[in-house]
Amino acid sequence: MEAAKVDKDDFLYPRSRYYGQVKPENLVFNANLQEFAQRINFICSLETSGKITPEDAYEQIKALWKKLKQTKKDLHIGENPFGGEGQS
């Protein structure tokens, strides 16, 4: 019975391998980004099928975007405190 649950979870929540620079903050952000994409997909499907209104879908997506943006800021993704790349 447990194998069926794992297969269902793998189907519903697939994870892709990370090929970027391996740093803890990059791995955490990548996991958050993949979760963001999955949730957006679910919200779009619910809106397309008429289960939620376009306004509700928009508000949910907006909230998820703000959460992802805050995670990026908290993890200092895209910031280089030592100047540019390749400088000594």
Provide the whole-model pTM: 0.73
Is residue 21 in a domain? yes
**3-57 per-position pLDDT tens digit:** 666 677 666 666 778 888 889 999 999 999 999 999 999 999 999 999 999 999 9
Look up residue 38 and give its amino acid: Q
Query: What is the SS3 assignment for 49?
Result: coil
User: What's the domain range around 26?
Assistant: 2-75
Interval 75-87 mean pLDDT:
69
Is residue 51 in a domain? yes
- Distance, in Å, from the CA atom of 36 to the CA atom of 60, rounded to the nearest integer, reads 11
- Distance, in Å, from the CA atom of 22 to the CA atom of 26, rounded to the nearest integer, reads 7
Where residue 71 falls among pLDDT bands split at 50, 70, 90? very high
pLDDT reported for residue 68:
97
Is residue 36 in a domain? yes
Report the number of distinct structural domains present in the chain.
1
Which residue is associated with the tokens 């990548």?
A: 30
**What percent of the chain is helix, strand and coil (3-state, nearest 5)?**
65, 0, 35
CA atoms within 13 A on the CB side of 58: 3
